[in-house]
Amino acid sequence: MGADNVVGDGGNGALLLGRSVELARFDALLDRAADSARDMARGGEFRDSGGSRLVDITGEAGIGKSRLLGEVCARARRRGMTVLRGRATEYERQVPFQVFTDALAHLDPHALDGFEETDAVAPLLQRSGTVDRFGLHRSTAVLLARLAAPSGLLLALDDLHWADPASLELLDHLVRHPVHAPVVLAVTRRDRQSPESLAARLTREVDTGTVVRLALRPLSARDCAELAGPGLPPADTAALYAASEGNPFYFLTLLQAHRGGSAPESSAPPGLGTLLLDELTVLAPSRRAIVDAVAVLGEHATPAMVSRVTGHSGTAFTADVHALTRRDLLRPTPQGLLTLRHPVVRTLVHESTPLLRRVEIHRLAARELAHAGVSAAERAHHVEQSLTAWDPAAVAVLEEAAARTARTAPASCAHWLDVALRHLPHTPEHTARRRELVLRRARALAACGGLRESRDLLQELIATPRRTPGAPATGENQDLGENQGFGQSQSRLRVRAVVLCALVERHLGRCTEAVALLRRELARGHAPADVVRLGLELGSAAPQDSDTSYAQVRTDVDMALEAARSTGDEVGEAGVLAVAALGEAYEGNMTAAHGLARQAAALVDSLPDNDLTALCEPLARLGWAEAFLEHYPDAERHAERGLDIARRSGQLYVVPHLLLCLSHVRVQTCRVSSALELADQAEDIARGIGSDQLLAFVLASKASALVAGCPPGDPRPLAVAEEAVAAAGTGVDWWASTAWCIFGWAALMAGDPVRARDAMLQAGGPELQRIQPSMRPLYLEILVTSALVTGRPEEARGWAERARKEAEQLGLSMQRASALRSSAHLPLAQGDTAAAADLFAEAAAESARCGAVFWEAHSLLLGAPLEAAAGHDRGGARAWLRGRRLAEAGGSGMLVGLADATRPPGVDSEAPYGSPDRTELTRRLATLTARELEIAELVAQGLTSQAIADRLYVSRRTVDTHVSRAFRKTGVSSRTALATLMARRRAGSRFGDARTEQD
């Protein structure tokens, strides 16, 4: 008899023994979700600002986790909630999204009718589709929000300690980005067997309240006595309890053996494995064969499949299955599968099944699935387990499975390729194929966080001498880079390996090693196309290396440019120009950078998207170069185009750089909510890739957006900035310098000038040489302000003078504006408000000249009270009103807080300068469609694009398109400004209603 049948029947309302506290916690969560769903069904709002909750049920094997989860599912169904339950399995850990696929198998066939993002979640539904895994994560959240209507959703995931990497990554996303809908997630896992990343994530989120931890303890002696019933003598019950240590599954197994007379003396009870295997010894051979097949087949153990692999069928087979079900060895599932009654039983049966028998079952299963037309990704598990020797057809299935999972489940892709490589003969005819598979596996490992393993594979691949099949090894053909041996195609494979290795080294924070590797390879002599490829990567790596300036590789980049031009390679030429533009812009050589960026942009803009597939990273470089040059519209245009191409072509590693370029531009141009959303997307990818350096940069960018977006006193910007510098570690490269600079800004805004000053000196060293030259005047403003606040006026004067000189050399408006603000702080500290006001006004004008709206508003709001103090009342009021309007329109809580603190006397903050009158407002809003008006109302309520998409069951892209159209039609440029218009519309409607009532 199984534990599930003994410890109460949830369907009849009986409580599980010893679990009343845990069930009460679940009842509260389910009630809240169900109540929220009913409110939303009546047109109300989802009131839980924290979003979905996850309950983490932990405990050892047999403690009752699955039984508790079953009871919770029953209670959720009684509340009318949708319930999806899936189980991860021990021997299918490389099947992508297996636990989610199992859960979604419960869906009604018509549940996804009309769902716009079905293709984006195809891998969860065992359908073919080409999507990137982070897009799949976001679309899964949309799907769960849809399924939560109209009665709430419980997603229950069992045995998560066995979940595949892709499932764990998806769960991590759902934990970090709770679904804004009445959704409860419940997971069970064995704490000691859980992957470290899963345990760490769930533990961190316990503190935030997103995760509720329920650690199941052993049953009490009284509970076990109740399980045993009154017929068992108390002494026997006590002995069984002591032997089981209160574990329900072990106690019940001991109890069953005791009642059957098969247990030894109670003073020395047998182990759990012995008891369970004893249960199998009495089975007839045909029934034991069925049990073995079910244990091996796992998620493919349908009665039909079990019949085929055992060779038994008809009434005899049916009778055997019924007999095993009555013994509670087998249990049918709602999906029509046969399972063993507990994962522990499956483990013992699987391990006791002879190896050759297991291999044969897997071979037959793979054959049957192939006949049924099942995809290679689904067959790969059985193919792997049936491989005992080289089998070209089987390895071809593994390669196909790897190709299908490369974008959505790179860890599984790397695993299948590893299996293929282990069985590929080490013979000359397979050498080229082996090297290609190694390169593919290294790329997959780099995408899923295995950066060091990827680098080791690539270094081995690069270092391995190659020779022509059948030819003796000579000095002329030992190396793959020369035009001997395998020829030009293998030379290019080596170059691809070198470039990928350099990229991986960069992500590991080893830019010096990346530069050295690329230079050595360039010195070997290559065809022009390979020189271009190597030069592109070298130009990208050098600015990030603390030991190498762009000037030191300028000659190499020029050689790559000449190589591209010599062969008429416009795509390569555009890429090298973009990389060169960023290199010069980083170093502060703005005249050269302007010229290179213009040439690169002209070529890029003339090329179709298909030609630019190989230029995604150079497009990111061009976007960043234009951002540093303060050409914000061009930077945004090129970054958006690169982002679209990178996502379509699956170039995941480039996406964060493009997202962060857009985020940076939108902070400078004061579109803060959008900047933060972009940084959030980049964070998801950075955590998936596993690069500390990239994560440091992403978190620094996120902190920058949070500083601009959050009101004064909000602890989030500094917390994220602290995480950024922690990720950067002790490095002294560009990533670390950027993280420390943003940390300095966050600390200053948090009211800690001492910490801000220390951070800036950490970022750049005593002379600040490590700080990016083209951004140094802006960062020097932090030091000027910190020095004045901490009583170091001479130090402040020195930093301000340096900012002025460097800004003049750069010739950039925003950097000049920053230097002017630094200079303005000096007379302000001495009480000369008129001089300070003039400098702030000049800074605002410089910022406006390049479209740096955030800094324009900042300068205006700093100068406005000084204008008033200097007697320029009207000028101060106008400056403050414009600054406040820009701050509100851009969604900057920091600037709105500054405006509140600096409002000149007599200025009405409720009537922003330049706001439209009621007639104009009515005309603008009349141009919106009903859908655009609906979305505008939701924007006004403060919902993000993702939350609106969840509410309306559409894609986030659809929401963003409608919001953009609303911006264009109403003449506003931000969500805050749109919200202001909608608020004035509602106020106008109330005014009209009041007049009607009075009339």
724-782 pLDDT tens trace? 999 998 877 888 999 999 999 999 999 899 999 999 999 998 789 889 999 999 999 99
Give the integer Cα–Cα distance in Å for 635 and 401. Answer: 38
**In the predicted structure, residue 787 carries a pLDDT above the cut 70:** yes
**In the predicted structure, residue 977 carries a pLDDT above the cut 70:** no
Q: What pLDDT is attached to residue 785?
A: 93
Confidence label for 160 from pLDDT (cuts 50, 70 and 90): very high
**In the predicted structure, residue 911 carries a pLDDT above the cut 80:** no
Would you say 539 and 579 are in contact if contact means Cβ atoms under 8 Å apart? Answer: yes
Confidence label for 256 from pLDDT (cuts 50, 70 and 90): confident
Would you say 418 and 411 are in contact if contact means Cβ atoms under 8 Å apart? Answer: no
Pull the structure tokens for residue 677: 């959303």
Q: What is the mean pLDDT of residues 50-79?
A: 91
End-to-end CA distance of the chain: 79
Q: What is the mean pLDDT of residues 70-92?
A: 93
Task: Select the more confidently predicted residue: 939 or 32.
Answer: 32
Amino acid of residue 151? S
**In the predicted structure, residue 265 carries a pLDDT above the cut 60:** no
**In the predicted structure, residue 469 carries a pLDDT above the cut 80:** no
Pull the structure tokens for residue 311: 């060779």
Pull the structure tokens for residue 434: 């082996």
Distances 4 to 237, 341, 444, 565, 741 between C-alpha atoms, Å = 20, 9, 41, 73, 57
**Across the beta sheet with 211-215, what order do the strands follow?**
82-87, 153-158, 183-189, 53-58, 211-215
Q: What is the largest CA-CA distance in the chain?
A: 104
Give the integer Cα–Cα distance in Å for 850 and 858. Answer: 15
Give the integer Cα–Cα distance in Å for 618 and 36. Answer: 47
Give the integer Cα–Cα distance in Å for 543 and 447. Answer: 23
Please tell me the least confidently modeled range out of 91-100, 699-708, 931-940.
931-940
Would you say 54 and 210 are in contact if contact means Cβ atoms under 8 Å apart? Answer: yes
> Could you say which DSSP state residue 629 is in?
T
Would you say 165 and 448 are in contact if contact means Cβ atoms under 8 Å apart? Answer: yes
Q: What pLDDT is attached to residue 490?
A: 74
**In the predicted structure, residue 998 carries a pLDDT above the cut 80:** no
Residue-wise pLDDT for 541-585, tens only, equals 887 776 777 888 899 999 999 999 999 999 999 999 999 999 999
Q: What pLDDT is attached to residue 449?
A: 86
CA 741 centroid distance within chain: 24
Return the percentage of the chain with pLDDT > 70, whole number: 88
Would you say 942 and 978 are in contact if contact means Cβ atoms under 8 Å apart? Answer: no
Would you say 939 and 948 are in contact if contact means Cβ atoms under 8 Å apart? Answer: yes
Q: What pLDDT is attached to residue 134?
A: 87
Pull the structure tokens for residue 983: 């608020």
Q: What pLDDT is attached to residue 483?
A: 40
Tell me which residue of 628, 567, 571, 642 sits closest to 600, measured CA to CA.
571
Would you list the DSSP string of 418-437? Answer: HHHHHHS--SGGGHHHHHHH
Please tell me the least confidently modeled range out of 500-504, 577-581, 959-963.
959-963
**In the predicted structure, residue 282 carries a pLDDT above the cut 60:** yes
Q: What pLDDT is attached to residue 568?
A: 94
Confidence label for 470 from pLDDT (cuts 50, 70 and 90): very low
Q: What pLDDT is attached to residue 116?
A: 84
Give the integer Cα–Cα distance in Å for 364 and 372. Answer: 12
Buried-exposed string 348-386: b where 16+ CB fall within 10 A, e elsewhere = bbbeebeeeebeebbbbbbbbbbeeebbbbbbbbbbbbb
Q: How many CB atoms lie within 10 A of CB 390?
A: 12
pTM higher than the cut 0.85: no
Task: Select the more confidently predicted residue: 941 or 149.
Answer: 149
Confidence label for 809 from pLDDT (cuts 50, 70 and 90): very high
Tell me the pLDDT of the chain averaged across its residues: 85
Residue-wise pLDDT for 302-349, tens only, equals 999 999 999 999 999 999 999 999 988 899 988 889 999 888 888 888
Task: Select the more confidently predicted residue: 980 or 240.
Answer: 240
| Residue whose pair of structure tokens reads 């030429």 in the numeric block | 573
Q: How many CB atoms lie within 10 A of CB 952?
A: 17
